[in-house]
Amino acid sequence: MNLLISLVLIVLIVWAFERLYLRGVRLGDYPVPGDPDAVVTFTSPGGPGPEHFAVIEKVRELTTQISREVRKRDLHAARAAIDSISDEHDYISRFFPVDAGGIPAEWVIAPGADSTRRVLYIHGGGFIMGSAKSHRTMTSKFSEISGCAVLAIDYRLMPEHKHMDFVEDCRTAYVWLLDNGPDGPEAVRQLFFGGDSAGGNLALSLAAWVRDKGLRTPEAVVALSPLTDLTFSGASIQTNEVTDVMLAPMLRILNRLPRSMKSWSVVWKHKIRPANPIASPLFGDLAGLPPTLVQASEAEMLLDDARRYVYKAWASGSPAKLQTWSDMVHVWQIFDPDLPQAVEAWEEIRKFLEARTPG
């Protein structure tokens, strides 16, 4: 009898620990921002177009290849596959490696870029793959439309490293970037953060850390399809599984797990509490943040991560803006200029940054 009572108590303690600590408080429903310009949806009257379906096929081929390599436990080959995305393009920018305070990185410089105006760009890839090389389409375009020198960092990845390792890499690179440009030591005059998917998560987390430390705040943050909730409580994680051709192959297994097992899975992989605001910016204090533009697809599994972050930020008094596109794949902006909706998205980013550029 005593053994049975002990077992019941252990089960209750484990359940309470997961439900109240790992998963954290239940997130509330935040109102739609009152400003009609704060939430905008873009649609194509004639449908997504043939370019979209070509992108779908390309994504399916890539995710199939990556999934195959991951199943074979050949993470090196999976990372090489995603890095190969950049091989197909011609770039107007120059790329050259740099040591950013001990963090491997590369400068991306489009013609006419001002070395005193800089972007810290953090790539996506589920925290396990991706690199400055894989995201050159993004970083080159960012430099082109902003007139800034872009620092793209190669932060440490899982499973070799834990979540706080790549968080610290982002912080280190940020501090270095304040006093160093592509031509050597030089104070920054204007600063932006950018990131996609997992990199969007890290960019939003970094913005909150900079605010809390009273450090030099970026003029704006751009987060593309960001992961903001490592507890995976957003409804679109489930409802958009059928329409998300990029993330579904990786997140489908997660959707089959009981909610409590998802929490322990994050603890095991990331070595951090899922509801910790460092890992899940949605759980943090979103007041006093810089102007933030979030773009996401209505068809992707992280739609509610983007939507809830902007709604909460707006309700907290921070100038956040959400732009969504129907039908697009996760981080479709990487398919610029082949995809018209990617061209459209980058034009919106350009206007957003231009509005925050003095003169």
- Catalytically annotated residues: 197, 300, 330
Does residue 125 come out as left (phi exceeding 0), alpha (psi in the -120 to 50 range) or beta?
left
- The residue written with tokens 């199943």 in the block is 71
Distance between CA atoms of residues 300 and 239, nearest Å: 9
Distance between CA atoms of residues 143 and 153, nearest Å: 15
Looking at beta carbons, which pairs linking 88-92 to residues 24 or more positions away fall under 8 Å? 89/136, 89/137, 91/136, 91/140, 92/140, 92/144
326 Cβ contact list (under 8 Å, min separation 6): 41, 42, 43, 44, 48, 297, 298, 299
Supply the DSSP symbol for 18. Answer: I
Which among 248, 226, 228, 246 is positioned nearest to 237, based on CA atoms? 248
Distance between CA atoms of residues 99 and 154, nearest Å: 10
